[in-house]
Structure 1
Amino acid sequence: MISNLFKRKKPPETAEPTPDIRSQRPSAGELRVRGLNETLFLAPLPVYTGQTQVSRRNFSAMNETYLELGGNNYGMVELGKRLALQIWMAIFLALIAPSLLIMYGVLFYPENFPTPFKDLIDAIRVFSSYALLFILPIGAFIYGMLSNVRALAKSYPVRFNRQRREVCYIDDTTHRVLIVPWESVVAWVARSQDITSYGAMRDYTFGMGLEDEERDTVQFILSAQPSDAHALGMWTSIRNYMEDGELVDTPNPMLAALGITLTEDELKPYEGLHTFEIERLDARALGRLDDGGGHLTAEERKRWGYSKRSAWPLRWWYVRRVIVFWKMPYLIAEWAHRKGRPTLPESVQAWSQPLPPQQWAQPSAALQKANALVKTAMDKKGANFVDACKAAGLH
C-alpha cells in the first residue's frame, strides 16, 4: 500500500509492450509502426547514433571493465529530506505551536495567563498527545523507504562488460545467469499514444532484448522514460561506453567542449555523503563565488561581464541543510547504497574481473564497416539515423 509509492515504476503497458524479435528479426534503423505505436530499433549491431548521452546518474556502477544498469539509489536523498520535513511537522505541533500560543496570550491577554510557565507545560502536554499521531505517517514513510532498499537488494542490475563485449543478466527469482554477446543485443525506443477524454497521452519506453538460445526465449528489459530523447540518450550512453569507453576513459564531449572537469565525487554514480559536497559546490557556483575575476572590484566585474557575487545562495543552502537535519538524508542514501546491493554469483564476479589489454574482445568487421558508413551519412551528409542505417544497408 504505502510502500508502493516508493517502488520503482513498471514500464507502461502498451498495445505492443515487447516487439517480436524472434520471428521478425529487426535491424538497426528499422521503424515499425502499428496503430498509434512506433518502435525504432537501435540494435542489433550497435552502430553510431549521433545522440546526446544521458546523465551518469542512470547507472549504479561503472569502471574500466563494466557498466551497470539498474540498482541505483537515485532519489534517496530527496526521500530523506521529506522524512525530515515530516519530523519537523511533529516537532512544530508538539513544541513550537503551544509556545507561540502561550506567548501570544501572555503578550495580549496577560490577565488570563497568571502562570505562563505552568500554562506552557500543560499546553505542550496537550499538543504532544496530538503530535503522537504523526507516528503513523512517519512510520509508514520509513517502512516504504526500507521496503525500497530491500527490493533493490534482491534485484540484480544488468552488467555490460566492455572488455569481453558481453552483457550479463541475472534472473531475480531463479538467479539464473544469462550472458549474451554485446553485438547481438536488440535495443529499441518505443512510443505509444492513447486517446482519452482528457487528450492524447504518450508513453516512451527504452527496451532491450537478450536472446536465450538455450531456452529459445528472449529476456526483455524495459525502462519507462520521460521522452524519446531520454530513451535514445540511455542507449547512447551504454553504446558509447561499450564502443568508445566514454563515461570512464574519455570525458563527455559536451563537458570537454565547455572545459569542465568533473571531480571524483561528481563521478560517483550514486547518492551518498559526497552528494552533500556536490550540492554545496553548486550553491557556491550559483552565487558565482568560485568563478574567475576574484581580484576584480564590483565595477570591474560589471565592466568585464562578470555576474554579481552573492553569498545568499550559499547562506540559504545552509539554512535548508539545518532544516533537513544537516547530513541525515545523505547518511540514509549512503546506507541505502551499501545495503541495496545484491551479492552477485561467483561466476559473474569472475566474469567481471579485468582482462589484460591483449585479451580484450574487438568489434566485428561488420560493425566497424557499418559504423563508418552510418557516421559518414549522419555527420557529413546530414542524414537522420533511419536513413543513415538504410544507406549502410542495415535494413
Structure 2
Amino acid sequence: MEIAYLSPMPVPTGVLPFSARQLHSYANEVFLDFALSRGSFEFMARAGIGAVMFLLIFLFFTTGFGSWLRRDVEPFWSSWLDFFTSIAVWGFVGALATLYLCVFFFAIRQASNQPPIRFNCQRREVIFVPKKGISPRYVPWEEVIASVSVSKLMTQYAVIPEFKLMIGLRDKNGDVLWASVPSGNLNQAIAEWEAIRVYMEEGPQALPMGQSDEFEAGSVAYFHMCRQGYRSHHSFLRYIWGFLIIQFFSGWTIPCYIAAWINNRPKAAFPKEVLEWSKPLPLEQHAMPSEALLKESAEIRKAFAKGQNLLDYFKVKFAEPDKEPAVDAS
C-alpha cells in the first residue's frame, strides 16, 4: 500500500475540486456535514446480491456437471433437479445470505446512530461524535489529517487497484478516528478532499455544483449515466458481457433504491452543545487562517505556476541540502 498525506496543514492540492457525494447539498454558510454517501451502501448491496447470485450460478452448473457424470446411474434431469433443490444446498445459500444481511443492517444501524462529521468554516473547527451518548470532540481544522491510499487487491483472477481518501481526526488523548472514503481513482480521491478544503477556506460558493442531486453516486440516474458512458466507450459485445450481464446479476437498479431508502432514513441528532456550536457567528468573530498556512499555500501556488505538482513541491522542500565538500586543512 502507498499513502500520500495531504494534511495537516490543509494546503492547495492543485486538483480541481469535485465531489461525487454532492457535498453542496449538505453545506451552508456555517457548516458542511460529511457522512457515508448512498454510493457506499449501493456498493454494499450490489456486492451482496452479486455474491449470492454468483454462488447460485456456481451451484447450478456444478450440480449439473455432477449429474451429467452420474447419468449412467441416475436419470440426468431428475438427479440434477433433486440435487439443486435439496435442503442442504438452499440451507447453505440461505445461511450465507442471512449472514451478509446481518452485516449490512449492522452497517445501516451504525450509520443511522452516528452523526456525520461536521466541518465549521466560520470557527475553522471540525467536530465528531464517536458514539451516541459520548461527548463530542472538537479538532482544529488545520490539524485534520488527510491522506490518499493506493493499494492492490490480489485475487486468483486479477489484481484490482483500490483508492481511498482517509480523513483522520485526532482527539486530546492522541487517538485518531479515521473515516475512509472509497474512490474510483487517485485523482477523484484528491478532488474529494479538495472540495472539503475549498469549502473551509472559501465557503460554500467554492463547492463544485453538480448537475442535479439525483446524479449522486449510487442513485438510479447515476447508474444509467455510467451505463451510457460504458456503452459509448466500448464495443457492443464488451458492453453486453462487461456491463449488462454483470449488473443484471448484481441487482441492476435494486441496490440504488436500497441506498436511496437508507439515505432518507432519519439520522442521529447532534447534542445540544453541537447545535449551539453550529450557529452563525458575527463576521468579526470568524476564525482566520494561520500565518503558517497562508505562507505555505502561497509557496505552493507559486510552485504550481511553475508547472510543479504537490509531490514535486514537497520533494524539493524536504530534500536534504547538498553536503559541502570537505576542506583540506593541511
Range of TM-score over shorter length: 0.5 to 0.7
Give the drift of 1:377.
2.9
Change (3 A) 1:86 1:41: closer
Q: Which amino acid in the other structure matches residue 221 of structure 2? A: E
Q: CA deviation at 1:381?
A: 4.7
**Paired positions, count:** 294
Q: Structure 2 vs 1, CA of residues 371 and 139 (structure 1 numbering), >3 Å: closer, same or farther?
A: same
Alignment match, 1:242: 200
- With 166-175 and 50-59 compared, the bigger mean Cα shift is at 50-59
Change (3 A) 1:61 1:221: farther
Cα separation, partners in 2 of 1:316 and 1:71, compared to 1, 3 Å: closer
Residue aligned with 1:265, SS: helix
Are the aligned partners of 1:93 and 1:127 in contact in 2 as well (CA < 8 Å)?
Answer: no
Deviation at 1:87, TM superposition (A): 4.7
The change in CA–CA distance for 1:186 and 1:360 in structure 2 (over 3 A counts) is: same
1:251 aligns with 2:251: no
**Is the 1:187–1:209 Cα contact (8 Å) retained in structure 2?**
yes
C-alpha contact (below 8 Å) 2:23/2:207 kept by paired residues: no
Shift of 1:160: 0.4
Q: Secondary structure at the match of 2:103?
A: helix
User: Alignment partner for residue 269 of structure 2, among 337, 340, 343?
Assistant: 343
Could you tell me how far apart the structure 2 residues matched to 1:281 and 1:92 are? 28
Match of 1:81 among 31, 36, 46: 46
Cα deviation, residue 262, structure 1: 3.3
Q: Could you tell me whether the CA contact under 8 Å between 1:206 and 1:224 is conserved in 2?
A: yes
Cα–Cα, structure 1 residues 62 and 388, in superposed 2: closer, same or farther, change >3 Å? farther
Q: Which amino acid aligns with 2:176?
A: F
What's 1:257 paired with?
A: none
Provide the alpha-carbon RMSD of the alignment. 5.1
Q: Who wins on radius of gyration, i.e. which is larger? A: 1
Specify whether residues 49 and 76 from structure 1 end up closer, same or farther in structure 2 by C-alpha distance, changes over 3 A only: closer
Shift in alpha-carbon separation, 1:158–1:346, aligned structure 2, 3 A: same
> Of the candidates 69, 89, 101, which is equivalent to residue 131 of structure 1?
89
Alignment pair present for 1:361 and 2:310: no
When residues 70 and 219 of structure 1 are mapped into structure 2, their CA distance, relative to the original with a 3 A threshold, is: farther
Task: Report the CA distance shift for 1:367/1:328 in structure 2 as closer, same or farther (over 3 A).
Answer: same
Match of 2:102 in 1: 143
> CA-to-partner distance for each residue in 1:242-264, whole Å, 9 max, x for gaps?
11347x64438xxxxxxxx6333
SS at match of 1:287: helix
Task: Kindly indicate which of the two structures has a greater share of residues assigned to helix.
Answer: 2
- Once the two structures are superposed, residues 151-182 of structure 1 have per-residue CA deviations (whole angstroms, 9 ceiling, x without a partner) of 32344432102244321122326520233443
Higher deviation after alignment, 78-87 or 357-366: 357-366
Does the aligned pair in 1 maintain the 2:120–2:200 contact within 8 Å? yes
Residue 319 (structure 1) shift: 5.2
3-state SS in 2 of match to 1:175: coil
- Are the aligned partners of 2:3 and 2:148 in contact in 1 as well (CA < 8 Å)? yes
Q: Residues 93 and 352 (structure 1 numbering): CA distance in 2 closer, same or farther, change over 3 Å?
A: same
User: Which aligned pairs between 1:355-394 and structure 2 lie closer than 5 A?
Assistant: 355=280, 361=286, 363-364=288-289, 366=291, 369-370=294-295, 373-381=298-306, 384-386=312-314
Q: 1:175 pairs with 123, 131, 134, which one?
A: 134
Q: Which residue of 1 aligns with 2:222?
A: 278
Aligned amino acid, residue 284 of structure 1:
Q
1:63 matches 2:23: no
The question of 1:328 aligning with 2:254 is answered yes
Contact 1:60 1:72 in 2 (8 A): no
Which structure has more RCO (C-alpha within 8 Å, separation ≥ 6)? 2
**Alignment match, 2:7:** 42
Q: Does 1:265 align with 2:222?
A: no
The aligned residue for residue 25 of structure 1 is none
Instruction: Output the TM-score relative to the length of structure 2.
Output: 0.63
Looking at structure 1, the residues matched to 95 and 101 of structure 2 have their Cα atoms a distance apart, in angstroms, of: 10
Tell me the TM-score normalised to structure 1 length.
Answer: 0.54
Q: Secondary structure at the match of 1:176?
A: coil
What does residue range 191-202 of structure 1 map to in structure 2 within 5 Å? none
1-structure distance, mates of 2:60, 2:267: 40
Deviation of residue 240 (structure 1)? Answer: 1.7
Unaligned stretches of 5+ residues in structure 2: 150-162, 319-330
CA shift for structure 1 position 339 = 4.5
**Which residue type is aligned with residue 263 of structure 1?**
S
